[in-house]
Chain A
Amino acid sequence: MSEPDGAGAGVDTAPVETNVPDDVEVDSDAGDSPIEEEVKEVPPGLPLRVQNLRKRFGGITAVDGASFEVEEGSLTGLIGPNGAGKSTTFNCITGLHEPDGGTVLFEGEDITGLNPYDVATGGLVRTFQIARELEEMTVLENLMLAPQGQKGETLTTAVTPGLRGRVKTDEEAIREEVWRTLELFEIDHLAEEHAGNLSGGQRKLLEMARAIMTDPTVLLLDEPFAGVNPTLEEKLLDRIHTLSDRGYTFLLVEHDMDLIMEHCEHIIVMHQGDVLAEGTAADIRGNEQVVDAYLGEDI
């Protein structure tokens, strides 16, 4: 891992808002940093804010000073050509990768470099590009797993005879929720199937249902429509809109420009590890840089 140098090469359009040197480690209690000051300025309503995020893999800079914000209750799309750093950004936000620089703020708190479980416990939950099911577990088990802080998750309550009743009551409540979620995603007929037997599209539904079961506030969906047939895609989009109306915040990574343009209120375009443009679909369409960097080449 080489040490970060100045602004990444080849990006001259970086709309870097803060001016934090990338070799400065920003820790959570850095009260005197410019970032912390900004926290106080920004009104609530921006649950997820990424500032000047950087991640290198050896000599490759995957994410190079990306900054963006996700509005509460919004359906935000993150697009960009292959290798633009979208998935790496996701991984840095959710703690799978530790960023080399920059800050991730979730509901005003610095979550940069936290463990994946701490990020998820806070209410920021993700799905994966290639659906990762717990294959040997049934659909029901997959969903039952998700809720946070279950009573039976400690060794003693799980084993001690007298405490078993509490575990059961707790699980019964969760089971009800699980069935409701299964019905919402219309995979209740697959409830007792092993997740490994599901088709690609069904796995995507299951994964999203499972993420919902964690009771998140913000959902990060990594290419939720990859390998999904058009009918199911409609269904997935429909569910996303339903949940969005219920107040969940979505950030989704997608290749398919048209899909994002049509469905997302706010769009972030990434290119070569940085944010190239932001705005509504109309803004993006009219942005020449985007057309040059992305539309011109790939579509």
Chain B
Amino acid sequence: MSVGGRLWQAVPPVIREHDTRLIVAILVVVSITYMLLGGLQAYLASESNLLNAMVNSMRFILLTAIAYALLTLALNLHWGYTGLFNIGIAGFMAVGAYATYILAAPPGGRPAPGLGLPVPVAILGGMVAAAIVGGIVALPALQLDADYFAIVTVGFSEIVRLSIQDSTFSGTVQDPNLDTYNVVNLFGAEFGTGGGRGIQAPIGPPTDVLFEGTTAVGQPLIDLGASYGIGQPVVTGMTYVVFLGILVLPAYYVVSQRLGNSPFGRVLKAIREDETVAQSLGKDTRWFKIKVFMLGAAMMGLAGILWRGRAGYINPQSFRPLITFYVFTALIIGGAGSNTGSVIGAIAFTSLLLNGPRRVAGVIDSAAGGLPSPSNFYVALSSLDPAMYAGYLVSEISALKFIFVGIVIVWLMQNRPEGMLGHRKEIASSIDLSERPETESGGGVAATDGGVSDE
């Protein structure tokens, strides 16, 4: 048995056999590990406020893990269930977030003006915008095979990012008399994207409502944090993470599960397996593809708003194609086609690959108390000094982790292409299909022609 298999067997069945408990357990393990790592680093760096560093470390990993989980769940609908190879995730996030910010930004705002709508309306608008754009992008999917469709989506993603970045629509010059005037005027509504300068709107974590003034919930929380030396930003940040964790993530998960375990999901699976068969059974696969693509795009848009757009400011750099690549990696690790796998993959990816190396390097750096930092690989290598090697590793960790990610993907593709949970049979039905009707008499009397597979 492999190491992974042994580890898996070591997990108590109470947790192993319940998806929700499994996810919660993994989140708890990751939280504690990151608290310890954060605390250790702060301790080694002789920081006074250990608990603050620990909670902040946990807050950060949970935020990232949950954000990626939202995106992998959405991607799982596209790619895992339907086989639609969407590599434009960042583009849909950008559409959702930018639409929200443009709708919510004040009319005379800087760097770019917006429409000044209330934030909830703006968020809804952002999701609708992402869904509509998703529907438009899905149209070529009706004609194109997977690979070609993938090219369309990545092209779309870049078009979105570059259009946002371009000064033509940025609205940064708001004087109509100037030649460089670039506010977009759509049926009298004036707005801009902010271009490379980004866009601001009065959008914050919805949980901040709790902390405005002296409310019944917010103030005690802040006081509680303060009594343990945890600063207010960490307390509010952590509250937002809890909000995402107990409301948004379960909502995404439930929607995905319901969809997967329904006749709708069954048709999606059939499209993934063999679209011609689905059509030959009378399923109008076009509508299924368009609908699921719109839903997934809206979910990606909302994830973009809640994650990248949580702090009142976004810029095009928040939506680079790299995110798309990361989300795919997370889904491949977890197992495409499984919702639980999507969430676990996102947690594993963010905690082990995306942030793990950096966190560990930070601890090592603090422990060693100022390692040498060689300027390049050659200098480090030729020094023949282990301290220089360690220093190089630590200082270049954010670049080196890509190599690490690459190795993991190559290993996975060769040894476990179905991911952690992709092998599971998640039956696409709202009921237990194995339950036979009672009217049946003998049942399974004759074997047709022998074994299960005699090819």
Interface presence of A244 (CB below 8 A): no
Q: CB distance A120 to B431 under 8 Å?
A: no
Interface presence of B46 (CB below 8 A): no
Given contacts A126-B280, A159-B259, A175-B431, whether A145 and B266 have CB atoms under 8 Å apart is yes
Q: CB distance A141 to B280 under 8 Å?
A: no
Interface presence of A132 (CB below 8 A): yes
Tell me the bound Cα distance from A263 to B256 in angstroms: 49
Interface presence of A214 (CB below 8 A): yes
Closest Cβ of chain A to B283, distance in Å, is 6
Interface presence of B376 (CB below 8 A): no
Tell me the bound Cα distance from A158 to B265 in angstroms: 8
Q: Could you say which of B262, B267, B427, B449 contacts A201, with CB atoms under 8 Å apart?
A: B449
Tell me the bound Cα distance from A94 to B425 in angstroms: 32
Q: CB distance A205 to B430 under 8 Å?
A: no
Residue of A nearest to B444 (CB): A189
B425 cross-chain contacts in A, Cβ below 8 A: 138, 192, 194
B433 cross-chain contacts in A, Cβ below 8 A: 138, 140-141, 144, 175, 178, 191-192
Q: Could you say which of A128, A134, A153 contacts B269, with CB atoms under 8 Å apart?
A: A134
B448 cross-chain contacts in A, Cβ below 8 A: 186-187, 190, 201-202, 205, 232, 235
A200 cross-chain contacts in B, Cβ below 8 A: 455
Q: CB distance A158 to B437 under 8 Å?
A: no
Contact flags A115-157 to B (C-beta < 8 A → 1, else 0): 1111011000110100011111110110011101011111101
Which of B28-36, B156-164, B270-278 lies at the interface with chain A? B270-278
Interface presence of A37 (CB below 8 A): no
Given contacts A136-B273, A137-B273, A141-B429, whether A199 and B453 have CB atoms under 8 Å apart is yes
Interface presence of B14 (CB below 8 A): no
Q: Could you say which of B266, B285, B443, B450 contacts A144, with CB atoms under 8 Å apart?
A: B266
Interface presence of A229 (CB below 8 A): yes
Interface presence of B428 (CB below 8 A): yes
Q: CB distance B446 to A186 under 8 Å?
A: yes
Closest Cβ of chain B to A4, distance in Å, is 25
Q: Could you say which of B258, B262, B279, B437 contacts A175, with CB atoms under 8 Å apart?
A: B437
Interface presence of B454 (CB below 8 A): yes
Considering the complex, which residues of chain B in the window 397-455 have a beta carbon less than 8 Å from any beta carbon of chain A?
A: 425, 427-431, 433-437, 439-440, 443-455
A229 cross-chain contacts in B, Cβ below 8 A: 449
Q: Could you say which of A115, A183, A192, A210 contacts B440, with CB atoms under 8 Å apart?
A: A183
Tell me the bound Cα distance from A83 to B264 in angstroms: 39
Interface presence of A109 (CB below 8 A): no
Given contacts A134-B277, A190-B452, A201-B448, whether A141 and B255 have CB atoms under 8 Å apart is no
Which of A5-13, A62-70, A166-174, A264-272 lies at the interface with chain B? A166-174
A167 cross-chain contacts in B, Cβ below 8 A: 262-263, 430
Given contacts A134-B274, A137-B270, A192-B434, whether A145 and B281 have CB atoms under 8 Å apart is yes
B188 cross-chain contacts in A, Cβ below 8 A: none
Residue of A nearest to B436 (CB): A179
Interface presence of A164 (CB below 8 A): yes
Interface presence of A20 (CB below 8 A): no
A187 cross-chain contacts in B, Cβ below 8 A: 448
Tell me the bound Cα distance from A193 to B439 in angstroms: 22
Interface size bracket, A side: 35 or more
Residue of A nearest to B443 (CB): A188
Closest Cβ of chain B to A197, distance in Å, is 5
Chain A CB within 10 Å, residue with most, of B258, B263, B284, B425: B263
Residue of B nearest to A127 (CB): B280
Interface presence of A2 (CB below 8 A): no
Closest Cβ of chain A to B79, distance in Å, is 14
Q: CB distance A197 to B452 under 8 Å?
A: yes
Given contacts A145-B266, A198-B452, A201-B449, whether A138 and B431 have CB atoms under 8 Å apart is no
Q: CB distance B454 to A199 under 8 Å?
A: yes
Contact flags A82-121 to B (C-beta < 8 A → 1, else 0): 0000000000001110000000000000000001111011
Which are the 7 A-B pairs with shortest beta-carbon distances? A120-B282, A152-B263, A189-B444, A158-B262, A134-B273, A116-B279, A158-B264
Other than A167-B263, A197-B453, A229-B449, give 20 A-B pairs with Cβ distance below 8 A: A115-B279, A116-B279, A117-B283, A120-B282, A137-B273, A138-B425, A140-B427, A141-B266, A145-B263, A145-B278, A151-B263, A155-B291, A157-B264, A191-B434, A192-B425, A192-B434, A193-B452, A197-B452, A198-B453, A214-B281
Which B residues form the contact surface with A (CB < 8 A)?
255, 258-259, 262-267, 269-270, 272-274, 276-285, 291-292, 295, 337, 425, 427-431, 433-437, 439-440, 443-455
Q: List 7 A-B contacts (CB under 8 A).
A: A94-B280, A120-B281, A145-B266, A152-B262, A159-B255, A159-B258, A167-B263
Which A residues form the contact surface with B (CB < 8 A)?
94-96, 115-118, 120-121, 125-126, 128, 132-138, 140-141, 144-146, 148, 150-155, 157-159, 164, 167-168, 170-172, 175-176, 178-180, 183, 186-194, 197-202, 205, 210-211, 214, 229, 231-232, 235
